[in-house]
Amino acid sequence: GCLSSRDFARGALLEGMQVQIERGVNPHEFGFIGSTDTHISTSGSTEEARWPGHKKTELGLSGRFSTADVGHTDAIRTNPGGLAGVWAVENSRDALFHSMKRRETFGTSGTRIAPRFFAGRYDENICEQSDWLEQAYANGTPMGAHLPPQQTSFNFLLEAKADPMSKPLERLQLVKGWIDEARQKHNQVIDVVTTNNKNNPEGTNRLCAVFSDPDYMPNTDSYYYLRVVEQVSPRWHKTYCDGLPDNVREEKCKNLPVDDYIHEMAWTSPIWFSPQHKSGSTQ
């Protein structure tokens, strides 16, 4: 099939901002979650090593590596589900729905990464302070909200904890989108913290950073969100193939059209900035 920039969240967010500039309302001001969508009535089903397949015809060996008709997806290209995360003051119906309404939510590709994302004005050493989270809320705007108009550059607070049952974290990335004065749409991915180097090849269980955008433009509509990336881990088919007898593995697992290893990820809801937005509003 065909792909459009609007098939991806970052492109849809830009489309919504452009509609707001032209018509005064943003139809794509949404928060992020992850979920599972299969045809075998499974909930969760996020573990690569235990992925049962997308539908019942994939439960056996032949179905796992089957090719699809035109317009459908090959079984080998399907993936385990994702997870939705909600930051709430307590685990109650009212608190959870209030958090979802204000879009303080995030999604993961299946592992239990726990990301935090704020925009405001923070000390460079806030990550080392025991009350960093209280300061984050007191001095800034959390994921899912609008940042009030700023005439001087603000900074971002990015933090994430690894899933203790998965791989350590490799990097924190800031995904930025903006519309320039000529109404052209732009995207950029910024590596804020990277641990994939010789000094720390195994990653880490927590990453935290304060970052200022050197290209901040106070008169430009923009959004930012945090993407957290794990160290590489085997995709489901790699584990599945490794467990097959040698002769079957040679037949079924050679020259597959997918990578053997993947990066599990998490994405926070965006923080939006508009020079016309009313100060203090989070809607």
Q: How does pLDDT run across 117-163, given as a tens digit for each residue?
A: 999 999 999 999 999 999 999 999 999 999 988 777 789 999 999 99
Q: For 152-210, how does the pLDDT look when each residue is reduced to its tens digit (9 = 90+)?
A: 778 999 999 999 999 999 999 999 999 999 999 999 999 999 986 555 656 699 999 99
Q: Pick from 200, 259, 264, 189: which is nearest to 232 by CA? A: 264
Mean pLDDT check: name the lowest of 14-18, 44-48, 56-60, 262-266.
56-60
Residue 101 has pLDDT above 70, yes or no: yes
The answer as to whether 63 is a domain residue is no
Q: How many domains does the chain have?
A: 1
Token reading at 247: 């002769």
- Domain residues for the domain of 197 are 5-35+82-273
Instruction: Give the per-residue pLDDT at 64.
Output: 80
Residue 275 has pLDDT above 60, yes or no: yes
Residue 112 has pLDDT above 50, yes or no: yes
CA distance 283 to 280: 9
CA distance 14 to 116: 22
Amino acid at 215: D
Is beta strand 271-273 parallel, antiparallel or unpaired with respect to 169-179? unpaired
| Average pLDDT rounded to a whole number, residues 20-27 | 92
Q: For 218-256, how does the pLDDT look when each residue is reduced to its tens digit (9 = 90+)?
A: 889 999 999 999 999 999 999 999 999 999 998 889 888
CA distance 34 to 44: 10
**All residues at 6 or more sequence positions from 102 whose CB lies less than 8 Å from its CB, including other chains:** 144, 145, 282
In SS3 terms, 52-74 reads as CCCCHHHCCHHHHCCCCCCCCCC
The answer as to whether 133 is a domain residue is yes
Three-class secondary structure of residue 119 per DSSP:
strand
The answer as to whether 131 is a domain residue is yes
Helix or strand holding residue 6 (H, E): none
The answer as to whether 253 is a domain residue is yes
Instruction: Give the per-residue pLDDT at 71.
Output: 57
The answer as to whether 115 is a domain residue is yes
Amino acid at 277: H
Is beta strand 114-120 parallel, antiparallel or unpaired with respect to 155-161? antiparallel
| pTM > 0.85 | yes
Tell me which of 73 and 102 has the higher pLDDT.
102
Residue 279 has pLDDT above 70, yes or no: no
The answer as to whether 69 is a domain residue is no
Whether residue 186 contacts residue 13, with contact meaning beta carbons closer than 8 Å, is answered with no
Tell me which of 1 and 133 has the higher pLDDT.
133
Cα–chain center distance at 108: 6
Whether residue 16 contacts residue 26, with contact meaning beta carbons closer than 8 Å, is answered with yes
Mean pLDDT check: name the lowest of 86-95, 130-139, 169-178, 271-280.
271-280
| Beta-bridge partners for 225 | 175
The answer as to whether 62 is a domain residue is no
Token reading at 95: 């608190």
The answer as to whether 262 is a domain residue is yes
